[in-house]
Amino acid sequence: DIVLTQSPGILSLSPGEKATLSCRASQTVRDGSLAWYQQKPAQAPRLLIFGASNRATGIPDRFSGSGSGTDFTLTLSRVEPEDFAVYYCQQYAASPYTFGQGTKLEIK
């Protein structure tokens, strides 16, 4: 199975700052088959990025994804108050389609 390790576990920032979230895979994620999700308390996850760098429908351009192989990054250019949440990466290159353990973005 492909294990995804996200870092940091918790990221404390103030609104307006830049956020950089990392997702590292235990083996190559072929074809950039990696997605990012945002989840707020008591809500379903929301797709942000697919194919490592493609924004999903309706996602603001302050969210961007990059990376390939085993190292992927989700960047928020300027954190807005509504962005404080937990973020998960997921690989869909090979079954089982594993998720990372999540990064909590909290208000500093």
Which parts of this chain interact with other proteins (CB under 8 A)?
Answer: 1, 33, 35, 37, 39, 43-47, 50, 56, 88, 90, 92, 95-102
Question: Amino acid letter at 59?
Answer: I
Least distance to other proteins from the beta carbon of 98, Å? 7
Question: Amino acid letter at 44?
Answer: A
Please say which residue, 3 or 17, places its beta carbon nearer to other proteins.
Answer: 3
Least distance to other proteins from the beta carbon of 57, Å? 9
3-state DSSP assignment of residue 91: strand
Q: Alpha-carbon distance 104 to 93, whole Å?
A: 25
